[in-house]
A = this chain, B = another copy of it.
Amino acid sequence: MDIGVLVFDGLTVLDAVGPYEVLSRLPGVSSLRWIGCGSAGSRSAGSAVGAGAVVRDDRDRVGLAVDVAMAEVDPASVDLLVVPGGYGTRPLMKDEAVLSWVRAVHEGSEWTTSVCTGSLVLGAAGLLDGVPATGHWLARDLLASTGAVVVPDRVVREGKIVTAAGVSSGIDMALSLAAWIAGDEAAQSIQLAIEYDPQPPFDAGSPEKAPSVVVDRLRSRVG
C-alpha cells in the first residue's frame, strides 16, 4: 500500500499527524509520502512545494517536511490519499492543478480520505456530489455548498471515500481504516501502541456537547 498525505501551507498539523501515527504502523505500507502543493511561504496555491521544502501550519508555528511535489507524483501511484484541513484549504478549492490531481488520484485509489476541512478540497474536486460526508463543524455549510450531503458524524464512509470531522477525528478515522484494511486485531494493536484510551477532562468536543457560551464564541470568531 502506498500512502500519500497532501500537505500545504496553512494546514492543521494534527489533521495530518493523527492519521499518520496510525496508518504508518499498518503492515504492508510500502511507501508513505508527504506530498507538497502550494508555493512555500506564500499561503497561496500553486504546485511548487517539493522535496526539501517545509510547509507551515495555519498558525505559522510548526513546519512539516515535504517529501515530493504533487506535480511529480503519478496519481496512479497513490493507493490511500489523506487530505488534511486548515485554512490553507481555501485557496486549494480554487486551484485546478490540485483539484484535477485529486480527481486523478481518486480514479485509481483504494481509499480517498480527508480530515476536517480537507473534505472541502474533495468537494471542490467534485468527488462529494450527492455523497454523505463530514468535516469540521464550523465548515458544514461550506461543505454542503460543494454538493456533499453533510452528515454530522465523526467518521463518514461512503464506498472508498472516508471523511472525518474536525482535527482530532483523524485518529478515529485512521483506526477505522486500519480495521477495514488489515482487520480488527491489527487496528487494536495500533490503538494500544499509541495508547489511545482517550480521557478528555471535559465533554466539550462537539457543538452538541459543549456549553453554548463556548459554541457561540467560536462561531462568532469564524463568523
Contacts and interface: CB of A to CB of B under 8 A. Distances in A.
Nearest to A215: B192
Interface residues of A, number: 63
A151 to B, nearest CB: 14
Contacts of A206: 192, 195, 197
Contacts of A155: 199
A218 B195 CA distance: 12
Contact of A214 (B14, B59, B154, B185): B185
Contacts of A32: 61
A34 interface: yes
B62 A63 contact: no
A217 B189 CA distance: 8
Given A20-B13, A64-B64, A192-B218, A197 B213 contact: no
19 contacts: A13-B21, A14-B21, A21-B167, A34-B63, A54-B65, A62-B65, A137-B195, A165-B195, A168-B195, A179-B201, A185-B211, A187-B201, A187-B202, A191-B200, A192-B204, A192-B205, A194-B205, A196-B198, A198-B200
